[in-house]
Structure 1
């Protein structure tokens, strides 16, 4: 009983501390309107214009035969089911599809807090499966013919990439590579860690994604922050909130871009050498701050975290600390809505979706928790014209079952374009992968 009382006291103390941080009064002068690359003007309310809400969704699962909803002219089918938290998808050059199965692993205190807050009903939690599974469509009909375990014994894997004779995996704590020949369906030989990475992170910031350079000589690695807004000290954020770049053997690490709070989705805009990334912005400034975003990444660019947000808007919790960095903060290109948890990114380089979606960016929005009403929980498309992004449009919806009850069927996250031109969408909490094809 004594240990249980201590646990609840600890949880209460944590809640009180968080509440005290949020009792700041809004300054109307800090509201602003920002013009962005899409031609939109984004209204940014003052910090704390609304209180910081906690509204976790409740995942109820998909009824038999029900699917998400795509636009007219597109068909949604079940690609794979009965998976254990499929978080990310990678498609090899021969068409093999790989899914990284991993989830947040909470310690005892965090588990208890999650149970009290309702967080445990919003996602799969517990022991991470830490595996990669492979799917193969042998006759090109869009249906999986062979499925199997590809790689096991990992540590919260996310990013995957096949380069030459190696299959790379970005675990939460390091970059690993394994002997691989294109077409292999199982890896059993031991791998080697070529780079150690800072493990874990705030909420779901354990993900580490990978992007192979155009000349296949380097790897870009996304690493999210270890906190919301460096509340544990900036010294604890070394190598975090960055896109790193290394040689294939893990050597010569450099910071490609910084100030990116939680960059997850990453890819090259088709026909260019420009890297784009989907970034999760910070919490606890109110319902409509700060917008998550998609942006083209400038080498050496600084994007604000933790000192500024959405351009040169100083975070009041870091006021006066680094005005030099606030002044150099870049404005991101495409706002994706505050607290939408925009995670997955895939540029459509196929030829089956028509002119409208040619080279479009598809974003998997995992959905909100730090907002009074649910937002996200869908896949949006951002059309590109003459290399410029347009406004985000809903593409795959229907994940929210009952908004009034905060119930959802599942939560989209990783997205990828299959070799046959279909869009694959990982639904981690629904334990499925969806396939969207043109009729």
Structure 2
């Protein structure tokens, strides 16, 4: 029974972790030894938002409830006409896993409902800042996540494949027949099931973020084929190659404004203690190797049994430590001008929060300023209030995705509370 619960934890909380304090730009020099503290199971208790409650932004900003009533809103995509697409998806748990989750308290932290497997369209037709139109855009999917429009095609990344559908901007729903243009690794060992999408700056390629199937390749390195990678394909699904590897669970991806540099946020490994291993925010080098599963921040993980390949010698150090186990998922560079100057070209990162730390942290959106295309030495909290009572592990919600709208506002999904929040600068 203990083994079953251990497996359950691995499956349920693949995107998890906690940290304290603000992001650091120094990494290995300040890391503790493995197991300096014990590896904790500390599940948050999601209590939701009372009427009138909202997350808290800095002075000069207003937070409003943009839309609600979803079924696990995970990811967002904005079409060129302003339509907002919401991927509603979740982990799928067999009956025995759900029973185990209730016994150990894990059900308090995440929804155990079956994935809605749906994309919902929101449209603010009159421009008042609130969507009046809400329609099912596409359904009967398989844990959809990343979305993309290129040419006359709408792309969606299910957990097991990349699909595309005929599409004209302005459609309220997909009506044409889709085609699966690329298989993606899934199967039983699918700890990180999300698949994010991003177009190259010239529109000639698609990048796909695929997380590892396990924590540290404990089910065999061959089961991690085409995992823990950012993949590159042509828009028709041909020309598949690994663009960068050793990224345990890359989720959010974006291009730094004014540059040709790709950035991502990565969830690092679990079960080494409260302050190992830091999740990170990094630029992505073509053919770069970022360590997983053999290394983290320049150190070897002695738990990994797979033989070390030659690529380990080309290890690339990540740029910014954003806290151990923070489950940093969403990433958006601020490319508009409505926010004050200090936010221009900087990066917003949504931290979902996790189970593998003795004291709750994460559960917020942070901001990392940029100058000349590079992160500066200090990050800061931007959107907080998700933690209700730290001592009792009570939280109101868990942020996942952050995007910048054409009017310069931010939208943030809160998956367990089924809300999309909007942050606007006061005029």
2:134 pairs with 1:144: no
Q: 1:168-203, CA deviations, whole angstroms, 9 ceiling, x for partnerless residues? A: 000000000011001111112221100010126768
In structure 2, the CA distance between the partners of 1:17 and 1:204, relative to structure 1 (3 Å rule), is closer
Question: What does residue 14 of structure 2 align with?
Answer: none
Q: Cα distance 1:176–1:288, how it changes in 2: closer, same or farther (>3 A)?
A: same
**300-309 vs 202-211, which moves further:** 202-211
CA contact (8 A) 2:338 2:409 kept: yes
> 1:82 and 1:67 mapped to 2: Cα distance?
15
1:375 CA drift (Å): 1.2
2:26–2:321 contact (8 Å) kept in structure 1: no
Aligned equivalent of 1:13, options 3, 20, 27? 3
Identify the residue that residue 372 of structure 1 maps to in structure 2: 358
On the 8 A contact 2:191/2:213 being kept in 1, the answer is no
- Cα distance in 2, alignment partners of residues 404 and 159 from structure 1: 35
Per the TM alignment, residue 430 of structure 1 is displaced from its structure 2 partner at its CA by 0.8
Find out whether 1:300 has 2:291 as its counterpart: no
**1:360–1:381 CA contact under 8 A, matched in 2:** yes
Change in CA separation of 1:329 and 1:146 when aligned onto 2, cut-off 3 Å = same
Compared CA separation, residues 429 and 38, structure 1 to 2 (3 A): same
Aligned to 2:16: none
Query: How far apart are 1:350 and its partner, in Å?
Result: 1.0
Equivalent residue, structure 1, for 2:15: none
Q: Which runs of 5+ in 1 are unaligned?
A: 1-10, 20-35
Counterpart CA distance in 1 for 2:268 and 2:239 is: 29
What is the CA-CA distance between 1:414 and the residue it aligns to? 0.6
Find the aligned partners of 1:14 and 1:137 in 2 and give their Cα distance.
Answer: 47
Specify the alignment match of 1:362 in structure 2: 348
* Other-structure match for 1:63: 50
Match of 2:164 in 1: 177
Distance 2:328 2:225 in 1: 24
Q: Is 1:283 aligned with 2:273? A: no
* Count of residue pairs brought into register by the alignment: 412
CA contact 1:100–1:132 (8 Å) conserved in 2: yes
Contact 1:52 1:284 (8 Å CA) reproduced: yes
Partner secondary structure for residue 33 of structure 2: coil
| Distance (whole Å) between structure 1 residues aligned to residue 120 and residue 68 of structure 2 | 12
Partner residue of 2:423? 436
**CA drift at 1:328:** 2.4
Query: Which structure has the higher relative contact order (CA within 8 Å, separation 6+)?
Result: 2
SS in 2 for 1:236: helix
State how far apart, in whole Å, the 1-side matches of 2:306 and 2:264 are: 28
CA RMSD of aligned residues (A): 2.0
In the TM superposition, what is the alpha-carbon distance from 1:271 to its structure 2 partner?
A: 1.1
Q: Given that residues 147 and 196 in structure 2 are in contact (C-alpha distance below 8 angstroms), is that contact kept between their aligned partners in structure 1?
A: yes
Contact 2:5/2:100, CA 8 A, preserved across alignment: no
1:176-215 alignment to 2 at 5 Å? 176-199=163-186, 205-215=192-202
Find the counterpart in structure 2 of residue 27 from structure 1. Answer: none
> Which entry has the higher C-alpha Rg, 1 or 2?
1
User: Are 1:424 and 2:411 matched, yes or no?
Assistant: yes
- Find the counterpart in structure 1 of residue 13 from structure 2: none
TM-score by length of 1: 0.90
Conserved in 2, the CA contact under 8 Å of 1:201 and 1:227?
no
1:48-82: CA deviation from partner (whole Å, max 9, x where unpaired):
11111011111111101100000000000000011
Moved over 3 A (4+): 13-19, 36-42, 200-204, 323-327
